[in-house]
């Protein structure tokens, strides 16, 4: 059974802190790793789709790295702001299809 | 640009009733899908479509039907609602059927079956 794990489950930081969290996935049959941000009362919004080992992607203050050989991806947020408060989901693609396996998310709260 | 539109936002059904959750996208996306989200579980794929006239089962298809008569619309039908179908349902679309394109989600439908 393929499983995606995210840690920590939740995180509280102060405005201005930098933070990071982890998505772990099976290291075999890797096709893609997706990151989404999910704000309360809204729908998930795509951040990154990563496909190559060693990929690094950046969007404003948010960046992500990918290690497919060891099966993990890190999401970094530099200088957290209250508007970064959300649940961050990752999802793993084990085939050339759209069948994603989703983690449970890391819930981030940024205190002003 | 509306993106992915789901209706209704909330619905309460009695056991045995049927209903259709609507999903429409205006981005000419090839791929459309339905997920359900339950506490303590990751998003689970119900059904998906890679183009008009083509549908396939996801991880948890039982109790649900779909059709894709146009590129824009992908309704989800509950044939005979059960309490186990109480969940939040999300429709998601993507420009490509392949793994490397991001999903665009609707705002969700919260369904309660009593």
Task: Inform me whether the C-beta atom of residue A70 falls under 8 Å from chain B C-beta atoms.
Answer: no
Q: How far is B42 from chain A (nearest CA, A)?
A: 5
Query: Cβ–Cβ of A104/B41 closer than 8 Å?
Result: yes
**pLDDT band for position B1 (cuts 50, 70, 90):** low
Task: Identify the closest residue of chain B to A9 by CA–CA distance.
Answer: B40
Query: Cβ–Cβ of A31/B99 closer than 8 Å?
Result: yes
Q: Which two tokens stand for residue B52?
A: 């008009």
User: Which of A6-15, A87-96, B68-77 is least confident?
Assistant: A87-96
**pLDDT band for position B99 (cuts 50, 70, 90):** confident
A36 vs B contacts (CB less than 8 Å): 103
Residue with tokens 């205006």: B26
Task: Identify the closest residue of chain B to A31 by CA–CA distance.
Answer: B99
For residue B13, CA distances in Å to A19, B76, B80, B84 come to 43, 15, 10, 12
Q: How far is B48 from chain A (nearest CA, A)?
A: 9
Residue B2 in this model has a pLDDT that exceeds 80: no
Residue B104 in this model has a pLDDT that exceeds 70: yes
For residue A106, CA distances in Å to A35, A87, B3, B17, B110 come to 11, 5, 26, 36, 22
Query: Cβ–Cβ of A104/B107 closer than 8 Å?
Result: no
Task: Inform me whether the C-beta atom of residue B105 falls under 8 Å from chain A C-beta atoms.
Answer: yes
Residue A95 in this model has a pLDDT that exceeds 90: no
Q: Can you give the pLDDT at residue A98?
A: 80
Q: Which of A16, A21, A22, A12 is nearest to A80 (CA)?
A: A16
Question: Of residues A1 and B93, which shows the higher confidence score?
Answer: B93
- B20-39: pLDDT as tens digits: 999 999 999 999 999 999 99
């Amino acid at each position: 059974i393929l499983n995606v794990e995210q840690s920590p489950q939740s995180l509280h930081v102060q405005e201005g802190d930098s933070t990071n969290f982890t998505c772990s996935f099976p290291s075999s049959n890797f096709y893609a790793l997706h990151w989404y941000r999910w704000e309360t009362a809204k729908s998930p919004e795509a951040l990154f789709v990563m496909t190559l080992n060693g990929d690094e992607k950046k969007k404003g203050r948010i960046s992500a790295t990918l290690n497919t050989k060891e099966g993990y991806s890190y999401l970094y947020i530099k200088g957290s702001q209250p508007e970064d408060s959300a649940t961050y989901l990752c999802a793993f693609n084990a085939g050339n299809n759209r069948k994603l396996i989703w983690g449970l998310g890391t819930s981030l709260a940024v205190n002003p | 640009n509306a993106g992915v539109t789901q209706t209704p936002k909330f619905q309460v059904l009695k056991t045995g009733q049927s209903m259709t959750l609507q999903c429409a996208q205006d981005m000419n996306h090839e791929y459309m899908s339905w997920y359900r989200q339950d506490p303590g579980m990751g998003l689970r794929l119900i059904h998906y479509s890679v183009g008009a006239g083509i549908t396939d089962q996801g991880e948890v298809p039982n109790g649900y039907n779909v059709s894709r008569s146009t590129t824009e619309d992908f309704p989800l039908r509950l044939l005979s609602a059960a309490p186990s179908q109480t969940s939040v349902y999300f429709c998601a679309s993507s420009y490509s059927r392949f793994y490397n394109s991001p999903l665009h989600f609707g705002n969700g439908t919260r369904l309660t079956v009593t």
